[in-house]
């Protein structure tokens, strides 16, 4: 049976889409409309119940890093519920989503990585950055946060493991500033890494090279900036962060 009817995502594919998924909060009418009956427990739950369940799970995690991983998993499963969890609990959740826990998360990024989020653009893409950006499914990107991972929160050169910073910053912009997530894009630029111990980590997934500097680096950054404007808009805000 098709997962689409008149362009509308139906059934299990709707549950698997983190933007469309509402979990047990789908109403009775929605369960009939989207062919969800039998795919969810029968009781329709309120947002309050869902949020309380998630906060109980978050608080039961044994370490702050485990809480970070759990929240990222929730985001990849049910984006709507993620923001419903963090917004009324921002004082408790903000240090987990961003500093100080994001620093530990970046150091362990290859070990806790589960789902792709944002874009990774490396020196291997030099000369083709615009084509790489075209692979991103959203066209109306208004805010980009980008890092090359060289100086992450005073932790040194983390190379490709710096992605936690753009992701974390944008989640705060989404949750606290009301910026629609569909208009934001975290990007990791991989221009190498000078931390040998990190590159020797079996779970390090960046390019295996010392950090590239000088003219090659400048050309790469210039190409990236031009490609962003061509792919999205000259008015797209680009924040560079460490």
Active site residues: 98, 169
Percent helix / strand / coil, the chain, rounded to 5: 50, 10, 40
CA 105 from chain centre, in angstroms, equals 13
Torsion of CA 169, 184, 16, 54, to 10 degrees: 30
Helix (H, G, I), strand (E, B) or coil at 140: coil
Strand pairing of 119-122 and 8-9?
unpaired
The CA distance from 44 to 118, in Å, is 32
| CA angle (181 as vertex; 175, 184 as ends), nearest 5 | 115
CA distances from 159 to 29, 88, 148, 152 (A): 48, 34, 7, 9
């Amino acid at each position: 049976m098709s997962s689409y009817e008149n362009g509308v995502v139906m059934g299990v594919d709707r549950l698997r889409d983190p933007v469309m998924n509402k979990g047990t909060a789908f109403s009775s009418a929605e369960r009939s409309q989207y062919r969800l009956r039998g795919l969810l427990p029968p009781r329709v739950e309120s947002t309050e119940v869902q949020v309380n369940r998630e906060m109980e799970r978050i608080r039961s995690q044994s370490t702050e890093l485990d809480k970070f991983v759990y929240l990222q998993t929730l985001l990849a499963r049910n984006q709507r519920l993620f923001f419903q969890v963090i917004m009324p609990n921002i004082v408790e959740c903000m240090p987990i989503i961003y500093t100080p826990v994001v620093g530990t998360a970046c150091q362990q990024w290859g070990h806790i990585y589960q789902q792709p989020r944002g874009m990774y653009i490396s020196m291997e893409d030099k000369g083709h950055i615009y084509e790489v950006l075209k692979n991103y499914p959203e066209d109306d990107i208004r805010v980009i946060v980008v890092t090359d991972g060289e100086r992450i929160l005073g932790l040194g050169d983390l190379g490709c493991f710096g992605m936690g910073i753009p992701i974390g910053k944008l989640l705060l912009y989404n949750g606290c500033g009301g910026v629609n997530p569909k208009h934001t894009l975290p990007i990791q630029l991989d221009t190498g890494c000078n931390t040998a111990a990190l590159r020797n980590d079996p779970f390090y997934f960046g390019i295996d090279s010392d950090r590239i500097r000088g003219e090659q680096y400048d050309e790469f950054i210039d190409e990236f900036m031009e490609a962003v404007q061509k792919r999205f808009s000259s008015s797209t805000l680009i924040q560079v962060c460490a």
